[in-house]
Amino acid sequence: MDRFTVRLPHDLARRFDAAASGHGGRSSLLRRLIEASAKEASSPADVVPLEPRTGKLTLRLGVDELAALEAEADRVGLPRTRWLVALVRRKLHGGPQLSPPEAAAFLEVQRDLRRIGVNLNQIARSLHMREARANASGGEAERVLAFATEVRGSLADLRRALEGNRDYWSTGS
């Protein structure tokens, strides 16, 4: 059986409940209204069943557990539902689960590495041109080595960050 969830302002929900009390309650009245609307809209032969795109999971936690969950989600910069989804997806699919600040940091690292790569290509091109003139200079080679070291350091930082993310979301089993 499908489930419909509707969010209403508190005042509207109270007024609807008052109206529904004379018709068997909230669910009963909603069911009758939906049946009447569906009957007016089309015949059953015209109805194309929809495949659910997502499923809903309801989780009940104790007050202390919910407070701990909210505190942890706040600590990593995620709403509690997104934190829970990330935890489930990490367990089911693996791979990093990035909060918005982490995703921004990874984008910045990618940009930096791209800039370094462009610089390395320019220096390598310059070295090749100089070698062609038999006038090789040690200064450019040292710069290329320095950039290569910087790239390796950035890649190591990125690897450590991904490992930290993996370790955070790992559930131990």
Give yes or no: residues 104 and 155 share one domain: yes
Give yes or no: residues 107 and 140 share one domain: yes
Q: With respect to residue 139, please indicate whether it lies within any of the assigned structural domains.
A: yes
Task: Tokens for 161, please give them.
Answer: 């960050």
Give yes or no: residues 108 and 88 share one domain: no
Count of domains observed in the chain: 3
Q: What is the pLDDT of residues 47-85, one digit of tens each?
A: 666 677 778 888 899 999 999 999 999 988 888 998 898
Q: With respect to residue 51, please indicate whether it lies within any of the assigned structural domains.
A: no
Q: What pLDDT was estimated at residue 150?
A: 81
Q: With respect to residue 48, please indicate whether it lies within any of the assigned structural domains.
A: no
CA distance readout (Å), 144 to 108, 131, 150: 22, 15, 10
Give yes or no: residues 104 and 83 share one domain: no
Give yes or no: residues 32 and 74 share one domain: no
Q: Which residues form the domain of 9? A: 1-42
For the ranges 68-72, 113-117, 148-152, the maximum mean pLDDT occurs at: 68-72
Break the chain down into helix, strand, coil percent, rounded to 5: 70, 0, 30
Give yes or no: residues 68 and 22 share one domain: no
Q: With respect to residue 90, please indicate whether it lies within any of the assigned structural domains.
A: yes
Give yes or no: residues 80 and 125 share one domain: no
The closest alpha carbon to 80, from 59, 56, 103, belongs to 59
Q: SS3 sequence, 113-164?
A: HHHHHHHHHHHHHHHHHHHHCCCCCHHHHHHHHHHHHHHHHHHHHHHHHHHH
Q: What pLDDT was estimated at residue 63?
A: 95
Q: Which of 94, 121, 154 is the last residue of a domain?
A: 94
Give yes or no: residues 101 and 164 share one domain: yes
Q: What pLDDT was estimated at residue 64?
A: 96
For the ranges 42-51, 69-78, 146-155, the maximum mean pLDDT occurs at: 69-78
